[in-house]
Amino acid sequence: MTRPLLVVSLIGALGCTGPKDVSPAQLLSQVRQALAERERRLVRYSVEATTTEGPETATHQFIYRAPNRVKGTVLSPIPLTLSFDGTNLFKLSPNEQRLEVFEVKLPAPEAAFFITSQFSPFVPEGYRTPLIPSKGVTVKKGTHPLASETWEVTVTSPDEANASSVLTTYVLRLPDADFLGKRTQVGVELSELTVEAEACDAALKVCVPKVLVQRAAGREVGRTTFTRIDLAAEVSAEAFTLIAPTGFESVRRAAGGVSSEHPPPKN
């Protein structure tokens, strides 16, 4: 009675090859799909944060509404608001009593780069989707103190002087692509951005940073703490279109173009 069972067991063991290894191309495809799905779920949010770098401290607010509406406000040390309503970029400088309106008449790729560059100081990693190019990308699996399994996505690009390569590695939780860290290496110089604490929304299946720590050569050089996080904020589309307050100068220009200035009305 035991012999047939043993034969069957051996045949089953020999015939079972186990799960197939996932190719690098398949891993990259999984990452892109997960990032796209995460972006689809996170359609609006509002946050407030405090950032310290050495003796300097700054506080700011940021709101987002899909598609392509963003607004960042520096509360201190110098008040400033940038807002994009899908067509125009607004820059409100209360200390200068000035509102600048930029008409973004650029091809889609250039417009996206222009807006991203303007708002990058307001939107920390973990709230924006990493830009993964079509070339120069490798993916492998790893682990992290906040995740049992991660994707490590490394992007290789030239530095500004084209003298050496810049290696940027994003650490994303598997399977939802939540941001957990980023390492940037240029030559022997290494800087790291690490998620120290998170806020999670079970309904959205999204986790975002609550505390971000920046390190250079292993030493902490900056810290951002989110004091308020609302991942389902009710934000109207009209909130992103700014109007010059009474007494403020208004300036209109095309992005990179010639300005058209309008002095404030006299009382």
DSSP 228-258: EEETT----GGGGS--PPTT-EEEEEETTS-
Helices (H), the chain: 2-15, 24-41, 108-119
Q: Residue 28 contacts by C-beta under 8 Å, 6 or more apart in sequence?
A: 132, 137, 139, 153
Tokens at 108, concatenated: 């889609």
Which 3 state secondary structure label does DSSP give 187? coil
- What is the total count of domains within the chain? 1
Inside any domain, residue 165: yes
Beta-bridged to residue 221, according to DSSP, are none
pLDDT digit string (tens) for 203-260?
A: 999 999 999 999 999 999 999 999 999 999 998 999 999 999 999 999 998 765 434 4
Inside any domain, residue 2: no
Inside any domain, residue 35: yes
Inside any domain, residue 136: yes
What pLDDT, on the 0 to 100 scale, is given for residue 100?
95
Inside any domain, residue 12: no
CATH label of the domain that carries residue 88: 2.50.20.10
Inside any domain, residue 10: no
pLDDT digit string (tens) for 180-202?
A: 999 999 988 999 999 999 999 99
Question: Domain containing 220: what range?
Answer: 24-262
Q: Rounded to the nearest 5°, which phi and psi values hold at 117?
A: -65, -35
33-67 burial code (b ≥16 CB/10 A, e <16): ebbeebeeebeebbbbbebeeeeeebebbbbbbee
Inside any domain, residue 9: no
Inside any domain, residue 53: yes
Q: How confident is the model at residue 163 (pLDDT cuts 50, 70, 90)?
A: low
What pLDDT, on the 0 to 100 scale, is given for residue 220?
96
What pLDDT, on the 0 to 100 scale, is given for residue 68?
85
Global pTM value: 0.81
